[in-house]
Structure 1
Amino acid sequence: MLNPKCKDQDTLARIQYAVDDEKDANVLANQQVLKTPIVRNGAKATVGYVPEVWKTWE
């Protein structure tokens, strides 16, 4: 779900190389590193723009 092309490459690198216990907190504090949109439909989810998948959801 991390966007390798995000503008904030320094923060992205810090998150990628952080210890596992700190990654979630760092992502929540720096949501600009996430690939968007994140679309949820119940237990299903997609990352990125994929309308062809969304059309198959009920």
Structure 2
Amino acid sequence: MNLQIFGTKKCKDSKKAQLYFQERRISFQFINLAEKEMSKGELRAILGGAITLDTLIDTESKVYVDKNLKYMVYDKEETLLANPLLFKTPIVRDGKRATVGYVPEIWKIWIDETKK
């Protein structure tokens, strides 16, 4: 597994995701979105399947409210890349597969697949 966890240090679900993998002794790279923006390539690798730009936007975030995005027409990809705190977190990525939010039931499947 080549795991990346995108989140923030203040996000409870990001902390829970890190703890989930630490308890299972699975190494991961934590990317703090408060300090480092996601690259366009990373974003494109996450998109696909059930994950869309709409899925990634945290409509309850301070950034979403402050920028009044509910009532605006905007380029979702560019806005996410320019405002990393607009992402719903945690985003857990293993290669081309990814999840948004705390979803240990899917991560367990990933772990079980690597053991085969």
TM-score, with structure 1 as normaliser: 0.74
Question: What number of residue pairs does the alignment pair up?
Answer: 54
In structure 2, list runs of 5 or more residues that go unmatched: 1-55
- Please, what TM-score do these two structures have when normalized by structure 2? 0.41
Please identify runs of 4+ aligned residues in structure 1 that moved more than 3 A. Answer: none
After superposition, the Cα gap between the structure-2 partners of 1:31 and 1:12, relative to the gap in structure 1 and judged at 3 Å, is farther
Q: 2:67 aligns with which of 5, 8, 11?
A: 11
Structure 1 residue 3: Cα displacement: 0.7
Identity %: 44
1:52 equivalenced with 2:105 (yes/no): yes
Higher relative contact order, structure no. (Cα contacts within 8 Å, ≥ 6 residues apart): 2
Structure 1 unmatched runs, 5+? none
RMSD between superposed Cα atoms in Å: 1.9
* Distance in 1 (alpha carbons) for counterparts of 2:68 and 2:101: 18
Amino acid paired to 2:60: K
Q: Distance in 1 between matches of 2:68 and 2:86?
A: 6
- Deviation per residue, 1:8-28 (Å, 9 max, x gap): 2133607x621xxx4322211
Shift of the 7–41 alpha-carbon distance from structure 1 to 2, 3 Å rule, reads same
